[in-house]
Amino acid sequence: TLSDRLADTFKNLRGKGRLSEADIDATAREIRIALLEADVALPVVKEFTAAIKERARGEEVSQALNPAQQIVKIVNEELVEILGGETRRLRYAKTGPTVIMLAGLQGAGKTTLAAKLALWLKEQGKSPLLVACDLQRPNAVNQLQVNGERVGVPVFAPEPGNGVGNPVAVAQASIEEAKRTLHDVVIVDTAGRLGVDAEMMQQAKDIRAAVNPDEVLFVVDAMIGQDAVNTALAFQEGVGFDGVVLTKLDGDARGGAALSIRSITGKPVMFASAGEKMTDFDLFHPDRMAGRILDMGDMLTLIEQAEKVFDQEQAAKAAEKLAGKGDFTLDDFLQQMQQIRKLGSMSKIMGMLPGMGQFKDALANFDEREIDRIQAIIQSMTPAERDNPKLIDGSRRLRISKGSGTQVSDVNQLVDRFNEAKKMMLQLAKGGGLPGMGPMPG
Ligand code: GDP
Ligand code: MG
């Protein structure tokens, strides 16, 4: 897999400051191969690898991830980005029935998809009507009727024996029928050919012109691989479409077609269809598809975990340093107090922010003069005493209290508070305070 090959490429890289130009080139080669294996079209592969190289150049070597993981992470992020980030939703008509027209080659899965989509819409509370406009293939109308029955959605079709219908007229009539029978979504199934041909394109174009759909969905078989680009371009030019549906994702196609079509036509993939069952249908998820194209879902999970563990380790280290081996001094303590004071003077502003009320109360109770006193006491200590408060015996206490204009009891109280704070931080560092630190995965 790509991750194995990248791991080989980067065998010697751990700990270097920046990815070298040679490493980046080697990486780009591996990514190129992986994408071609996933059936991504060559021009798209070139553009994509160039973008990855560009981004990798600016990147520091991560402390959390090994370089191979780091590159995979970048590749994955870019893939998700190109595949569309968030999924685009269907656009519904403001008035009258929403019209969704399906277009694509014969065998792409339009008729199957029409019924799946109808079921999905029904589950969203819509009342769809299926429309049979493939009057080319002898059995096509019947196939849609069978599928319609499976999902409990009515099918509008030309009357049998009424001669061969005209698909444009059927499509037009179906809108009137939907209005009359109060269906709010009309799904128009159309004819396709095995290859792109002018007559079929014209027919689809005519249907489009007649019913002015809210969405034209280009339905494409994920298995057609490298042909996806030319087919998509032909349909974009011949009919035009707003979104893409990828079918037969239950097969072993890696889904490179999704990346090719998205990159070349700029149209979003909206739905994914993956099986013969009517429920094998879902919104398209760019992150899942990216994982599939790279063929490394496990690797991505591992990367996520590695980063999480690294963050936790960093936090633990920071707390330990603060608390351990006498590192936390009275100077640190004073600094903390001063930070709290800064917050305190902000308490009025914070009180006006939603959700900050609770902090405002806590800060308002903080006695400003108390901090002044703490400051005076600590500043009356020698640096050695601040570093190591254990030095502060009876005579030193007296000296400090005099120097700061406070009572000996104030000095005692301060040392107690400091010891409390230190103990708390030690606890934080020794676990407990940092939940969820499981064992390193993998
Ligand atoms: P159309 O010519 O575009 O209307 O395509 P059909 O809906 O008739 O589908 C062609 C063939 O592909 C049929 O045998 C379907 O059962 C099958 N098919 C459609 N969608 C899927 C899918 O998502 N997965 C699988 N495995 N087969 C599918
Ligand atoms: Mg069909």
Task: Say which ligand is closest to the CA of 220.
Answer: 1
Atom of ligand 1 nearest to the CA of 134: 4
Give the 3-state secondary structure of residue 93. coil
Distance 273 CA to ligand 1 centre (A): 9
DSSP 86: S
Three-state secondary structure of 35-64: HHHCCCCHHHHHHHHHHHHHHHHCCECCCC
The residue that leads in pLDDT, 196 or 170, is 170
Confidence of residue 435 (pLDDT cuts 50, 70, 90): very low
Nearest residue (by CA) to ligand 1, atom 17, is 109
Nearest residue (by CA) to ligand 1, atom 12, is 109
How high is the pLDDT of residue 2?
Answer: 67
* Closest listed residue to residue 267, CA positions, set 88, 118, 78, 117: 88
How high is the pLDDT of residue 59?
Answer: 76
User: Whole-angstrom Cα distance, residue 224 to residue 244?
Assistant: 14
Distance 220 CA to ligand 1 centre (A): 10
Q: Is 394 annotated as a binding residue?
A: no
Distance 115 CA to ligand 1 centre (A): 11
Q: Which CATH code is given to the segment(s) 314-429?
A: 1.10.260.30
Q: Identical fold at 2-83 and 314-429?
A: no
User: Could you tell me the fold of the domain covering 98-285?
Assistant: Rossmann fold (3.40.50)
Distance 84 CA to ligand 2 centre (A): 28
Q: Is 111 annotated as a binding residue?
A: yes
Rounded to 10 deg, the angle between the 67-83 and 256-265 helix axes is 50
DSSP 158: P
DSSP for 62-99, written as a single string: PSSS-HHHHHHHHHHHHHHHHHTSSPPPPPPPSSS-EE
Distance 139 CA to ligand 1 centre (A): 14
CATH for 2-83 (3.30.70.141, 4.10.520.10, 1.20.120.140, 1.10.1060.10)? 1.20.120.140
**Domain ranges across the chain:** 2-83, 98-285, 314-429
Positive or negative CA dihedral for 16, 19, 25, 28? Answer: positive
Task: Say which ligand is closest to the CA of 221.
Answer: 1
For residue 380, count other CB atoms closer than 10 A to its CB. 17
User: Whole-angstrom Cα distance, residue 197 to residue 295?
Assistant: 35
**Ligand 1 test: best mutation among 276, 280, 282, 284, most atoms within 8 Å of CB?**
276
DSSP 251: S
Q: Which of 44-58, 93-107, 196-210, 364-378 has the lowest mean pLDDT?
A: 364-378
DSSP for 353-397, written as a single string: STT-HHHHHHHHTS-HHHHHHHHHHHHTS-HHHHH-GGG--HHHH
Confidence of residue 254 (pLDDT cuts 50, 70, 90): confident
Q: Is 107 annotated as a binding residue?
A: yes
**Ligand 1 test: best mutation among 112, 196, 248, most atoms within 8 Å of CB?**
112
Q: Which of 179-188, 382-391, 433-442 has the lowest mean pLDDT?
A: 433-442
How high is the pLDDT of residue 440?
Answer: 39
Q: Is 329 annotated as a binding residue?
A: no
Task: Say which ligand is closest to the CA of 191.
Answer: 2
How high is the pLDDT of residue 62?
Answer: 76
The residue that leads in pLDDT, 163 or 232, is 232
Nearest residue (by CA) to ligand 1, atom 20, is 109
Q: Is the pLDDT of residue 232 over 90?
A: yes
How high is the pLDDT of residue 355?
Answer: 47
- Tens of pLDDT, residues 144-192: 999 999 999 999 998 765 555 789 999 999 999 999 999 999 999 999 8
Q: Which of 203-217, 243-257, 362-376 has the lowest mean pLDDT?
A: 362-376
The residue that leads in pLDDT, 351 or 34, is 34
Q: Which of 22-26, 30-34, 198-202 has the lowest mean pLDDT?
A: 22-26
How high is the pLDDT of residue 436?
Answer: 38
- Tens of pLDDT, residues 318-364: 666 665 555 678 887 787 777 666 655 555 444 444 444 444 555 55
Q: Is 193 annotated as a binding residue?
A: yes
Q: Is 32 annotated as a binding residue?
A: no
Q: What is the pTM of this model?
A: 0.71
How high is the pLDDT of residue 344?
Answer: 55
What six digits make up the tokens of 15?
Answer: 């700990």
CB 111 within 8 A of CB 147: yes
Distance 107 CA to ligand 1 centre (A): 6
* Closest listed residue to residue 34, CA positions, set 263, 292, 297: 292
Range list of H helices, 152-197:
167-180
User: Whole-angstrom Cα distance, residue 11 to residue 29?
Assistant: 16
Distance 108 CA to ligand 1 centre (A): 6
Mean pLDDT of the chain: 83
Q: What is the mean pLDDT of residues 238-258?
A: 92
- Tens of pLDDT, residues 258-305: 999 999 999 999 999 999 899 999 999 998 898 888 877 677 777 788
DSSP 227: G
How high is the pLDDT of residue 195?
Answer: 82
Nearest residue (by CA) to ligand 1, atom 6, is 109
How high is the pLDDT of residue 270?
Answer: 95
Q: Is the pLDDT of residue 429 over 70?
A: no
Class of residue 218 by CB neighbours under 10 A (exposed 0-12, middle 13-18, buried 19+): buried
Task: Say which ligand is closest to the CA of 275.
Answer: 1
Q: Is 69 annotated as a binding residue?
A: no
How high is the pLDDT of residue 3?
Answer: 64
pLDDT > 90: percent of the chain = 46
User: Whole-angstrom Cα distance, residue 312 to residue 317?
Assistant: 9
Q: Is 135 annotated as a binding residue?
A: no
**Which residues line ligand 1 at a C-beta cut-off of 6 Å?**
104, 106-112, 192, 247-248, 250, 273-276, 280
Distance 248 CA to ligand 1 centre (A): 7
The residue that leads in pLDDT, 68 or 354, is 68
How high is the pLDDT of residue 55?
Answer: 87
ipTM: 0.99
How high is the pLDDT of residue 442?
Answer: 35
Strands of 155-156's sheet, edge to edge? 155-156, 128-133, 185-190, 98-103, 215-221, 243-247, 269-273, 281-283
Task: Say which ligand is closest to the CA of 109.
Answer: 1
Confidence of residue 408 (pLDDT cuts 50, 70, 90): very high
Rg of the chain, C-alpha, whole Å: 34
Q: What is the mean pLDDT of residues 365-384?
A: 83
Q: Is the pLDDT of residue 381 over 70?
A: yes
Distance 248 CA to ligand 2 centre (A): 14
Atom of ligand 1 nearest to the CA of 112: 7
User: Whole-angstrom Cα distance, residue 324 to residue 37?
Assistant: 53
Please enumerate in sequence order all residues whose Cβ is within 8 A of that of 299, keeping only pairs 6 or more positions apart, or say none: 1, 3, 69, 72
Q: Is 279 annotated as a binding residue?
A: no
